[in-house]
Copies of this chain bind each other. A is one copy, B any other.
Amino acid sequence: MPLTIADLETPVPVVDLDRLARNLDRAAAYATAHDLALRPHIKTHKAPRIASKQLERGAVGVTCATPFEAEVMSTVCDDILVAYPPVGMARANRLASLPDTVKLTVALDSLTAIDDAAAAGRNADRPISVYVELDLGMHRVGVPRVEQAIALARAVCERPPLEFAGIAFYPGHVRDAVGSQAAKLEQLDAALRDTLQAFDRAGVHPTVVSGGSTPTMWNTHELTGVTEFRPGTYVYNDRTTAAIGACDWDDCALTVLATVVSTAVPGQAVIDAGTKALGREPMRGTDSAEGFGCVLGRHDVVVKGMSEEHGILDLSSTDWHPQVGEKVRVIPNHVCIVVHLNDVIAGIRGDTVETTWPVSARGRGYVIET
C-alpha cells in the first residue's frame, strides 16, 4: 500500500510534484521566449535534485548565497554565482576552494571584498569572475552611485585573477501587487538605463546585467539591458507571492502538513507547526499583513499567533471546526525560511507520498577544530 500524507509525522513540509514541475516549466519557457539567461537562486530549495531539474530545463547555472550552498551545488552544477560579498578570508578561501571544474562568479560592493576575493583567487590559483553590485532602490547591499560602481569595476580589472564580468542588482523593493508595481518598474528601468550609459561613457563594459527576483520575474524582458535573472521562490511560491498576484494560489507547491493538537481554548485551534516549522515571516509588500500563513483551501483561516512548536489558527470568522488529531496543510508566508528550518521534504502527488529528499545545503557545513 503506498504511503499517504495521512501516514506522515507532523509538522513536515510537503511539495506537490505536479505544481513544482509546472513552476519550473513556466520559468524556463519565459527565459527561452525572451532570450534571457535564467540563473535560479537555490536558497529556496537547497537541494541538488531540484537544481538538476532547473539545469535540465536550460538554466545557465545557479545562484547561491553561502559557501556551503556553493559546495553542495558544485556536485551538479559547474557555473555558480555567489551573490553575496566574499568578505573575510575564511569565506573567500572557501569559495576559491570549490572544484576547479566550477566557473565561479561573486557579486560584491566594496574594495575590501575585492581584495579578499583577489587574495583567495591567488591562493587557489583560479580565476574568479566578479559582478559589481548596485543599489537600485532595495537599500540593502550595492553601491548607490554609478561612479562608485565604475571605480570598483576598474579595481577588479587591476587585480587578476579577478575578471570583471558584469553588474548585478536585486529588485527586492519591487514587491507590490502586480498592476500597482508599474511605477517602481519604470524607476528601475530608468536607473538601469542611466547606469549602462555611464558605464559606456567610462569605457567599461559589463557583459552580464544580472537582476531578478520572483515578484518581478515576468517583467525581466522589459528592463533595459538585463541579460540574466535570478528568481528563487518561483519553484515553490508562497502566500506572499500568491497574494501579490505573481502566481496563482494553485501554483503554491510547498505546504506544511500539521496536526491539530488542541482545541481547548475557544475560538482557536492549535497546530503543531509553530516558529520552528513555519518561521515568523510577515507578509511582504501587501496590506494583508495578517498572520504567518493560511490553511490550504481555506485561505481565510490564518495562523494568527505562534510559539516555537505551536501555531494558533484563528477560527473567529469561519464555521469550520477542526478536531484534535485532524491534519491541515499551511501555505507559509515565506517559503525559503520554511525550507531552511527543515531537514527533509516529502514529495507528493495527490495524497500519495512518492519520494523524499534532504535539504542538503541547509546549515553552514562548518568544520571547527579546537
Could you list which residues of chain A lie within 8 angstroms of chain B, going by C-beta atoms? 2-3, 7-12, 43, 65-67, 84-85, 87-88, 90-91, 94, 109-110, 112-113, 116, 133, 135, 139-144, 148, 172, 259-266, 268, 270, 272, 275-276, 279-282, 307-310, 312, 323-325, 336-337, 340-344, 346, 353-356, 363-364, 366, 368-370
Contact = CB atoms under 8 A, between A and B. Distances in A.
Contacts of A65: 308-309
A259 B336 contact: no
B110 A141 contact: no
Given A8-B90, A275-B337, A337-B275, A270 B354 contact: no
Given A281-B280, A337-B275, A312 B140 contact: yes
A143 B262 CA distance: 9
A340 B309 CA distance: 11
A67 to B, nearest CB: 8
A206 to B, nearest CB: 17
B90 A7 contact: yes
A275 B90 CA distance: 22
A112 B325 contact: yes
Contacts of A272: 84, 87
Nearest to A268: B139
Of A7, A11, A12, A325, most buried by chain B (CB within 10 Å of CB) is A325
Assembly stoichiometry (copies): 2
20 contacts: A3-B370, A65-B309, A109-B262, A110-B264, A112-B324, A112-B325, A139-B268, A140-B307, A140-B310, A141-B261, A142-B262, A142-B264, A144-B265, A275-B279, A276-B340, A279-B279, A308-B337, A342-B363, A343-B364, A353-B368
A340 B141 contact: no
Nearest to A307: B140
Contacts of A337: 275-276, 308
- Interface residue SS majority, chain A: loop
Given A12-B368, A43-B308, A308-B337, 19 more contacts: A3-B368, A9-B88, A9-B366, A84-B309, A87-B259, A88-B259, A109-B262, A110-B263, A113-B324, A139-B265, A140-B265, A141-B261, A141-B265, A143-B264, A276-B337, A276-B340, A341-B341, A342-B363, A343-B363
Of A2, A264, A266, A341, most buried by chain B (CB within 10 Å of CB) is A264
B324 A8 contact: no
Contacts of A3: 368-370
A272 B264 CA distance: 42
A318 to B, nearest CB: 18
A137 to B, nearest CB: 11
Given A308-B336, A337-B275, A94 B261 contact: no
A280 B279 CA distance: 8
Given A112-B323, A307-B172, A12 B264 contact: no
Contacts of A363: 342-343
Given A84-B261, A262-B85, A266-B144, A353 B325 contact: no
A368 B65 CA distance: 29
